[in-house]
């Protein structure tokens, strides 16, 4: 809801809790006291008031307030903290973190319940009646109407108190849900030495990757790695993007084996990334046909361990049966039958690394678009890469420019592609902005000191190429002659004319 525009059109002020913002002279007041605001803070507040109840991402703040200048995301979060501090100092009606709410993976917003339009001449809201005054009125009323039944009065007060308490509890519970910090989790590997369990390992990887990437309370660190979109799940035992160790607080790895009686065992180990210490461990014995139920139990246990307000996604028991190695099925089979959301994401990734014709890639894209016109951000990025492989380069580049790309965690590869798009357009400012973002994002997989050395190198291009070689060292096809990926890296690292 664009409350700012509505206030300007109706010549009104905006009350934020008990603080009043005048959009006409851009002033903020608490009662008769002026609250000083810097121009950036005013712009930040106006973006929030233009999107009441709708989260605004950090990238959108950078675009609207800083006009796409290259700045750290910490600058935005610090400005949000400054605004919250101002509200904390000047309002008694609400917690400042409930006025400016953090929405995990989406951004920040002001709830509609805390804002309203008021007459332009008003500089404050009517003060609430003090409790003492209410008690005096109540006593006078009781004296005036001594004939009333005291039992009725007490019953009414009891009901009101119960309703108020219940309402306050539910509101607090809802608000607390919005402020649960995200768990920074890295999916590491499924160690499986028994070749007969390779299919089970693949199913576990597919189910956990889908469940954890779609949870609003988990920051899946794998998605920050430039290799996340460059690996299939069946290529090796590691999860895609498992090298993003510098972006995680926890690392989850699995061991899978079968005992002599034919029962399978899944050992789940949650490590603290900084120390390597095991924070949580559990072994799940199960029959092969119970794999989905076992993953569901794992997800429920981790939800409980992290005290998440909403459990990590569970799956219906038959879902794992649909996951098969891409080599064991055909594209025609996939095109001819309905697919679950998890299957769409899994097979889109796997098809990206197969030798399909351009026409077949286009058939797959058409099926997904018909099924799901607006795709989740991670699926959107994989479809952009498949679109590139289908030969429709221009459409692929346009997909990388869309707003979906801003909803995924910072990823050096995506920034590289966006830098090259702007280089091709001749937009030096945006090319350099994305160049800096891409280099900075490499610190999720490489030591920060190693990345920083680029800027002191006498041969900046060669130093840039070496950084990308280290970051993508496990991508086999990057070494092939005329590799499209490596050509993109060379374009990125070449000095801007």
Does residue 102 sit in the same domain as residue 143? no
Q: What percent of the chain has pLDDT over 90?
A: 40
d(CA 441, CA 414): 10
Q: Output the pTM of the full model.
A: 0.65
The upper half-sphere exposure of residue 22, i.e. CA atoms within 13 Å in the direction of its Cβ, equals: 17
Tell me how far apart the alpha carbons of residues 207 and 38 are, in angstroms, rounded to a whole number: 48
Of 24, 14, 11, 91, the C-alpha closest to 48 is: 14
* Residue 151 confidence (pLDDT) above 60: no
User: How many domains is the chain built from?
Assistant: 4
Please tell me whether residues 452 and 389 are part of one structural domain: yes
Q: Residues 212, 357: one domain?
A: no
State pLDDT tens for residues 91-143.
776 676 788 888 877 888 998 888 899 887 765 554 443 444 344 434 444 44
The predicted pLDDT at position 93 comes to 67
Alpha-carbon gap, residue 176 to 97, rounded angstroms: 10
Whether 336 is in a domain gets the answer: yes
Do 351 and 280 lie in a common domain? no
Give ∠ CA 412-379-416 in degrees, rounded to 5.
20
Q: For residue 306, is it within any domain?
A: yes
Whether residue 272 is contained in a domain is answered as yes
- Long-range contact pairs involving 81-86 (C-beta distance under 8 Å, separation at least 24): 82/41, 83/41, 83/44, 83/45, 86/28, 86/35, 86/37, 86/41
Beta bridge partners of 101: 109
In a domain, 172, yes or no: no
**446 in the same domain as 424:** yes
Dist CA 45 CA 83 (whole Å)? 8
Residues 95 and 80 reside in one and the same domain: yes
- pLDDT for residue 212: 94
Instruction: Give pLDDT, residue 34.
Output: 86
C-beta atoms surrounding 447 within 10 Å: 12
DSSP state of 238: B
DSSP state of 236: S
The predicted structure's pLDDT at residue 347: 95
Question: CA 28, 31, 32, 36 torsion: positive or negative?
Answer: negative
Residue 466 lies in a domain: yes
For residue 219, being part of any structural domain is answered with: yes
Cα–Cα distance, 86 to 76 (Å, whole number): 16
74-78, 246-250, 342-346, 384-388: least confident range: 74-78
In the structure encoding, which two tokens stand for residue 113, read together?
A: 């319940």
What strands, in cross-sheet order, belong to the sheet with 27-30? 33-35, 27-30, 19-22, 12-16, 115-119
369-406 pLDDT tens trace: 888 777 787 888 899 889 988 888 788 877 876 645 55
pLDDT in tens, 223-243: 999 999 988 998 888 999 999
Whether residue 203 lies inside any domain: the answer is yes
Q: Residue 94: which domain range?
A: 3-119
Give me the DSSP letters along 402-444.
SGGGGGSPP-HHHHHHHHHHHHHHT-HHHHHHHHHHHHHHGGG
Residue 355 sits in a domain whose CATH number is 1.25.40
Question: Under 8 Å CB-to-CB from 474, ≥6 apart: which residues?
Answer: 227, 231, 243
- Let me know whether 469 and 336 are in one domain: yes
- Decide which of 294, 319, 344 is a domain's last residue: 319
- Looking at the structure, do residues 8 and 53 belong to the same domain, yes or no? yes
Length of the chain: 497
Do residues 213 and 154 both lie within one domain?
no
- Read off the pLDDT band of 351 (50, 70, 90): very high
User: Residue 437, class by beta-carbon neighbours within 10 Å (0-12 exposed, 13-18 middle, 19+ buried)?
Assistant: buried
Distance of CA 417 to the CA centre of its chain: 20
- Residue 13 contacts residue 23 (beta carbons within 8 Å): yes
CATH number at residue 22: 1.10.10.10
Same domain, 287 and 434: no
Q: Decide if 177 is inside a domain.
A: no
> Among 87, 83, 342, which Cα is nearest to 210's?
342
- Alpha helices (H) along 106-149: 131-144
Answer yes or no: do 92 and 45 share one domain.
yes
Whether residue 333 is found in the same domain as residue 481: yes
Higher pLDDT, 372 or 332: 332
Determine the Cα–Cα distance for residues 22 and 4; give it in Å rounded to an integer.
10
């Amino acid at each position: 809801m664009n409350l700012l525009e509505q206030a300007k059109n109706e010549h009104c002020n905006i009350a934020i809790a008990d603080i009043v913002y005048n959009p006409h002279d851009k002033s903020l007041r608490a009662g008769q006291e002026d609250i000083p605001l810097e121009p950036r803070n005013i712009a930040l507040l106006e973006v929030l008031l233009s999107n009441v109840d709708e989260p605004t991402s950090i990238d959108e703040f950078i675009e609207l307030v800083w006009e796409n200048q290259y700045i750290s995301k910490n600058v935005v979060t610090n400005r949000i903290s400054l605004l919250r501090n101002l509200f904390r100092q000047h309002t008694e009606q609400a917690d400042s973190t409930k006025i400016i709410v953090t929405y995990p993976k989406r951004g920040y917003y002001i709830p509609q319940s805390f804002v309203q339009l008021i007459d332009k001449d008003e500089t404050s809201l009517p003060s609430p009646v003090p409790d003492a005054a209410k008690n005096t009125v109540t006593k006078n009323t009781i004296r005036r109407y001594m004939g009333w039944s005291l039992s009725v009065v007490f019953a009414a007060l009891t009901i009101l108190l119960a309703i108020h308490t219940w309402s306050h509890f539910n509101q607090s519970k809802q608000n607390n849900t919005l402020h649960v910090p995200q768990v920074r989790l890295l999916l590491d590997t499924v160690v499986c030495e028994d070749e007969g369990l390779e299919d089970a390992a693949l199913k576990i990887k597919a189910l956990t990757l889908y469940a954890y990437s779609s949870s609003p309370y988990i920051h899946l660190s794998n998605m920050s790695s430039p290799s996340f979109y460059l690996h299939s799940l069946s290529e090796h035992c590691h999860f895609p993007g498992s090298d993003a160790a510098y972006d995680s607080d926890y690392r989850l790895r699995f061991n899978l084996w079968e005992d002599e009686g034919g029962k399978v065992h899944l050992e789940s180990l949650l490590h603290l990334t900084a120390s390597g210490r095991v924070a949580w461990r559990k072994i799940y014995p199960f029959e092969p046909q119970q794999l989905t139920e076992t993953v569901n139990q794992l997800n429920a246990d981790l939800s409980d361990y992290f005290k998440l307000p909403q459990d990590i996604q569970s799956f219906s028991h038959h879902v794992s049966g649909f996951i098969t190695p891409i080599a064991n099925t055909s594209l025609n089979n996939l095109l001819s039958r309905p697919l679950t959301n998890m299957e769409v994401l899994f097979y889109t990734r796997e098809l990206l690394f197969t030798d399909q014709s351009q026409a077949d890639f286009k058939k797959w894209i058409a099926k997904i678009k018909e099924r799901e016109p607006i795709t989740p951000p991670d699926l959107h990025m994989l479809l952009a890469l498949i679109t590139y492989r289908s030969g429709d380069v221009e459409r692929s580049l346009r997909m990388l420019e869309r707003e979906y790309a801003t909803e995924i965690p910072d990823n050096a590869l995506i920034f590289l592609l966006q830098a090259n798009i702007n280089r091709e357009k001749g937009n030096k400012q945006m090319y350099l902005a994305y160049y800096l973002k891409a280099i900075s994002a490499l610190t999720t997989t490489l030591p920060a000191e190693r990345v920083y050395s680029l800027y002191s190198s006498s041969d900046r291009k060669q130093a840039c190429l070496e950084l990308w070689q280290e970051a993508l060292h496990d991508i086999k096809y990057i070494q092939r002659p005329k590799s499209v990926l490596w050509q993109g890296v060379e374009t990125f690292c070449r000095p801007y004319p």
